[in-house]
Structure 1
Amino acid sequence: MFDLAPYLAPLIVLLAILASAIRVLPEYQRGVVFFLGRFQGVKGPGLIFILPGIQQMVRVDLRVVALDIPAQDVISKDNVTVRVNAVLYYRVVDPERAIIQVENFAEATSQLAQTTLRSVLGKHDLDEMLSERDKLNSDIQEILDAQTDEWGIKVANVEIKHVDLNESMVRAIARQAEAERERRAKVIHAEGELQASEKLVEAARVMSSEPGAMQLRYLQTLADMSTDNTSTIIFPLPIDLINSLVKGAKNP
């Protein structure tokens, strides 16, 4: 009878080696394979085989990563200190460079994003930080994408989430907004006065050229006064009589 006992231990070792040699990579992952320390290639997805002790494999995720940029203290161009945080969206497009060119591409991208955020925002005024976020997001994204390209990283988007101000600056902005509203109200009031004066001048010009218009206005004024609850008695005088009296006074 054939005895399997002498072969049992080697068989178990062989099965263990085969099991450790088998790797299964999902669709969103790639394996960067090294042969005795030298880069051999990028494998996956699916079933791949790695020789234990001779080949090494580093898994790389190709999905988009949402990286939260911690709040940064930024001094704006007009010397205002604010705290700004943002979120960065990136993905690996070249697994070989992401593993070989940088030690930890995720940590390196995070540190670069923090310094770039402070550098870009420090070149702008506070008003621009609050009102031109789309432009600032685009500027930061372009700078990061250019610098991470050699790492095989693609920066898809950058979004500034919050710009936090201290209490004194919030009160100063509120006073500024109130002053701006008062200025607009005064401008609107002045424009209304100007338009009203122009209309009055035009009405006076028409009445001076048409004597009958002045008479109608005189009668309308009397009618308006008669509707009020007043004890004043009004005796209307013809305009012609008034003009005659005025001319007589000038030419005695």
Structure 2
Amino acid sequence: MFTKVIVKNDERGLLFKKGSYVKHLQPGTYRNLSFSDETIIVQNVTKPFAVPNKELHLFVQDTQLIEELTIVDVQDYEYVLHYEDGKFVSMLTAGMYAFWNVMKKHTFVRVDIRNPEMGAEVDLAVVPRLHGYYQTFEVASYESALLFYNHVLQRELRPGKYYFWKGPVSVLVKTTDLRQQQLDMTGQEIMTEDKVTLRLNFVCQYKVVNPIKALEIKSFEEQVYIVLQLILREYVGTLKLDDLLKMKQEIANFVLSRLNEQSDHYGVQFLSAGLKDIVLPGDIKDILNTVLLAEKKAQANIITRREETASTRSLLNTAKLMDENVTLYRLKELEFLEKICEKIGTISLTGGGNLLEQLNSLLSVKGVDK
């Protein structure tokens, strides 16, 4: 009694006797006695070479079989990208693999994950299919980034997208915003030299120019805030309130110059600074308002007196001219008479004489020899 086994063109057979590998079989028809201790395992050459419960090392001694196989040994520190006829198939991790090279051409791209950055040998088109084996970091156009391997600085990264293999080396990318930034200090209580406690609202603009320096400082913004606070205390504490109110425009220049003295230490450039508000205590504000009101009243009185003096001086000058010139005096009389007549609806005459004689008598100057 025979058992017939057919090995097709896209197949290969593996002959075992008593469970031990003997040889591989080419396409054809094979007959075994039904009670024989020989068995044939048929392999599809379009699929990876694998025999259940058998190690690959058992077959590598067969030189004829090895000619039809492509064997790849992947180390613990490697990933291997597997391609069939130039098309990506799978990612291979540590282990030994075998593929039939009868109908397909197998190629491989090895990457050493001890160097985590994904190199140009990996086509970015296949990266989405490598999920779980890599990580990405993006650096925006307004950012600079520092690359760390196992917390050791490697280099600065320019804007772009970066791919790194997941493996024995930890990868960290720290980004720094290079755009102009603003630091606001609001409601900062500071005492002047004459013991007046006031609150300042201050603002300064800066930008990071040395990302390495900036990242070396823990809690960067908090430390810059404290430096700004100390500089303001230094300036305000040496001035009296009245002097401070007069010199408040100079605070910004002083603070900006002092900040830029430390710009190299912090890796930043301070661009501008300015005092937004000075908030005074309520009682001090009332006193200043009273002083201001008194000053304005005094200024108003001075202006009133000045105008009165000018008006009196003008009248005196007019009187002198009229006293020296009879014609000017008569013209002035006629001007006033014209204004009076504009207000009169009717004129009544009493006594003798005509209208002209009576008007002439009204305008005559008695006791003056002309």
Residue range with higher mean Cα deviation, 195-204 or 22-31:
22-31
- Residues 110-125 of structure 1 mapped to structure 2, 5 A cutoff: 110-124=225-239
Change (3 A) 1:224 1:64: closer
Shift of residue 73, structure 1, vs aligned partner:
1.4
Shift of residue 24, structure 1, vs aligned partner:
2.8
Inter-partner Cα distance in structure 1 for 2:168 and 2:178:
25
Structure 2, unpaired ranges of 5+:
1-48, 56-72, 77-91, 95-112, 114-129, 345-360
Let me know the Cα RMSD of the aligned residues. Answer: 4.2
Out of 197, 200, 204, the position equivalent to 2:315 is 200
Greater relative CO (CA pairs within 8 A, separation 6+):
1
Inter-partner Cα distance in structure 2 for 1:123 and 1:4:
88
Inter-partner Cα distance in structure 1 for 2:240 and 2:52:
82
Q: Which position in structure 2 is the counterpart of 1:74?
A: 190
Change (3 A) 1:219 1:157: closer
- TM-score, normalising length: structure 2: 0.50
Shift of residue 152, structure 1, vs aligned partner:
1.0
Q: Which position in structure 1 is the counterpart of 2:141?
A: 27
Change (3 A) 1:200 1:18: same
Inter-partner Cα distance in structure 2 for 1:4 and 1:88:
72
Inter-partner Cα distance in structure 1 for 2:208 and 2:52:
50
Change (3 A) 1:3 1:242: farther
Inter-partner Cα distance in structure 2 for 1:3 and 1:134:
86
Inter-partner Cα distance in structure 1 for 2:249 and 2:51:
77
Inter-partner Cα distance in structure 2 for 1:95 and 1:237:
96
Structure number with greater Rg is 2
- AA aligned to 2:159 is P
Shift of residue 150, structure 1, vs aligned partner:
2.5
1:187 aligns with 2:235: no
Change (3 A) 1:4 1:27: farther
Shift of residue 224, structure 1, vs aligned partner:
8.8
Inter-partner Cα distance in structure 2 for 1:116 and 1:17:
51
Shift of residue 213, structure 1, vs aligned partner:
4.3
- TM-score, normalising length: structure 1: 0.70
| C-alpha contact 1:33 1:43 (8 A) present in aligned 2 | yes
Q: Deviations over 1:57-79 (max 9, x none)?
A: 43322233332224211233555
Change (3 A) 1:93 1:17: farther
| C-alpha contact 1:72 1:118 (8 A) present in aligned 2 | no
Shift of residue 185, structure 1, vs aligned partner:
0.9
1:170 aligns with 2:285: yes
Change (3 A) 1:35 1:204: same
- AA aligned to 1:65 is Q
- AA aligned to 1:110 is Y
- Residues 1-252 of structure 1 mapped to structure 2, 5 A cutoff: 1-2=49-50, 19-20=134-135, 22-34=136-148, 39-48=153-162, 49=164, 53=169, 57-76=173-192, 79-100=195-216, 102-124=217-239, 126=241, 134-214=249-329, 239-241=365-367
Shift of residue 208, structure 1, vs aligned partner:
3.1
Change (3 A) 1:4 1:214: farther
Inter-partner Cα distance in structure 1 for 2:364 and 2:140:
104
Structure 1, unpaired ranges of 5+:
229-234, 244-252
Structure 1 residue matching 2:50: 3-state secondary structure: coil
Residue range with higher mean Cα deviation, 159-168 or 127-136:
127-136
Inter-partner Cα distance in structure 2 for 1:213 and 1:124:
64
Structure 1 residue matching 2:218: 3-state secondary structure: coil
